[in-house]
Chains A and B, each alone.
Chain A
Amino acid sequence: MNALACEGVSKSFLGVAALSDVSLTVAPGETLGIIGPNGSGKTTLFNIMAGQLHADRGRIALSGRDVTGLAPHRIASLGLARTFQNLRLFAGLTALENVMAGGHLRAPTGVLGQLLRPPSVVRAERAAREEAAELLAEVGLGAHRTALPSQLSYGQTKRLELARALNIRPRVLLLDEPTAGMNDAQASEILDLVRRVKEKWKLTLIVIEHNVAVLTRFADRLFVLDAGRMVTKGAPFEVVRDRRVIEAYLGIGAA
């Protein structure tokens, strides 16, 4: 069974087609890279997979279960987490609390329980705190528990967002440009981290990247979007030699 499958997904905004008839499947444990020029619909596809947008047509299935039209919090509870292209951290929460925020679905949230705080509730909160601290250490932010996102460097906030997404305990993780704005050294550092956590939690990854060179080394398969349509898909080294891909990036005639 596929970890995630999109079938004939189409979406238009005010009559402008952002995605037309996009179908893709990702096997459990696989890393799928999605590349394409600006405005080709990559992030729209992510938003539809995660439930932030609803497709006009087509279906999404998560581990064989139809999740088309479900709200984002329902999809999260079914095992899908994502990071955002331009970071969406909780500005008023500390680094530790930001990671704990990812554990919301496992937290006891009954009002009475929170008011009376029986031992089970106290234990759950302490466990959540410890798990979040471990995850922070895992991404190399162990020393920054009480820092607010605004006090962290750009690279650190990227790691923090990854830790928060991991705390949702997903089976499928969507990463939207994890290395955007980084130099090569920083990029390979964060990709090493992603590779490590992928092995550890047996994740299925879907990664959007601008840096095609980085992704050809990182992904098992590439999926190329241009103007909302699939151009091609397949093994990274075949895909990047494809004339249509080069044209999509560099313009007609470049090949």
Chain B
Amino acid sequence: MTASSLPAWLERLGGVAFVVLVAILPLVLPGRFWPHVLAITMIYAILALGQNVITGWCGLLTLGQAAFLGLGAYTSALLTMNFGVPWPLALLAAGVVAGTCGALLAIPCLRVRSDFLSLVTIAFNQMFFVIANNWMGLTRGPMGLPSVPPMSLFGFDMRSQQAQFWTILGVAALIYFGVSRLTSGPIGRAWSMIRDDEIAARAAGVQVTFYKVLAFGVGCFICGLAGSLYAHFLRLVSPDMFNLEESLLMMQMAILGGLASVPGSALGAALMVLIPEALRSSEPWLITLRPGIAGALLVALMIWRPNGLLGAAGPERGPLHAVRGLVRTASLKLAMARTR
């Protein structure tokens, strides 16, 4: 809930117009490369939004979201491959499994704050990676799960790139719609209250623990849905797709676009996926600069727009005044980790 200057109906209209515009893209873009990159961008936009629910609105610095992406991906892939579950059901199951695990993980995690919470979630991410990499019987370990079936709706497999693109767009649009509704009402307000001042939130009647668990549950549910899209779009699941690097990327997207900003999450994802891909397609060696560019971007951001690109301007007036210190720490950690 940022202090937006646009009237609600105009924002809604802008959202619909944007979705329509994106839907036209695969028809007008030549070749298969850019539609593919855009589909990946949309999946990351979902992930950035899930991260943003937990970190931007509720103020919890979690750094293990790739584990929930992986949980969703493996759940969906295994259900469709081993049990013939139709994809829409597997998608939902992926969300539910990831969301439930997120909520369960949140319960012990809520005893620790800020820096410690990020350590616990990093540890969870590493545990997930180790298990996925070693449980040969279920995940085939580092060989991964090849030939995951494509997405399907009502029994029809979606083999064309365009159909897959639109399906991903549809799911992403629904998730963005849902999150804007959740965050613009009393639930989003309660999350922001907790982020800004836990003691005052309690005094105003907010059941803090419940809302933190809810934020984790919702954020990880969203992450799990993205996992299913990811698995069935790439037709492949392997453990190294869900390492800590991925978690850092999600956090970076959420911060870059603007914490507690719905359109900011999409913008952050677009920048972090499209710029490197544009570099790669013009001069392949430029991609090696990616971590450096990302780090420099974050440092510049913390100096000039500490609330993110679509967050409110000016350090003193931003809606994220309360978590700015937290975000600074996180950005520095990210910048260091990514330039390693």
Is A105 located at the chain interface by the 8 A CB criterion? yes
Contact segment of B13-21, B187-195, B287-295:
B187-195
Q: Is the CB of B200 within 8 A of A93?
A: no
> B204's contact among A76, A92, A115, A146, by CB below 8 Å, is which?
A76
Q: Is the CB of B190 within 8 A of A72?
A: no
Is B196 located at the chain interface by the 8 A CB criterion? yes
Is B108 located at the chain interface by the 8 A CB criterion? no
Q: Is the CB of B319 within 8 A of A148?
A: yes
How many residues on the B side are at the interface (Cβ–Cβ under 8 A)? 37
- Interface residue ranges of A93-111 to B (CB < 8 Å): 93-94, 97, 100-102, 104-105, 107-109, 111
Q: Is the CB of A105 within 8 A of B192?
A: no
Q: Is the CB of B193 within 8 A of A91?
A: no
Q: Is the CB of A114 within 8 A of B190?
A: no
Is A117 located at the chain interface by the 8 A CB criterion? yes
Is A125 located at the chain interface by the 8 A CB criterion? yes
Q: Chain B at the A interface: mostly helix, strand, loop or mixed? A: helix
Cα distance A90–B321 when bound, in Å? 9
Q: Which residues of A contact B186 (CB under 8 A)?
A: 104, 107-109, 114, 125, 128
Q: Is the CB of B200 within 8 A of A104?
A: no
Cα distance A52–B316 when bound, in Å? 29
> B317's contact among A84, A102, A114, A150, by CB below 8 Å, is which?
A150
Cα distance A40–B106 when bound, in Å? 39
**Interface bits A138-161 vs B (CB < 8 Å: 1, else 0):** 000000001010110000000000
Q: Which residues of B contact A195 (CB under 8 A)?
A: none
Q: Which 4 pairs of residues, A with B, have the shortest CB-CB distance?
A: A92-B319, A107-B186, A88-B200, A91-B321
Q: Interface residues, chain B, CB within 8 Å of chain A?
A: 1-3, 178, 181-182, 185-187, 189-190, 192-193, 195-197, 199-208, 214, 218, 260, 312, 316-322
A-B contact pairs, 12 of them (CB 8 A): A81-B203, A84-B199, A90-B196, A90-B200, A92-B2, A93-B189, A97-B1, A97-B192, A111-B182, A111-B187, A115-B182, A151-B317
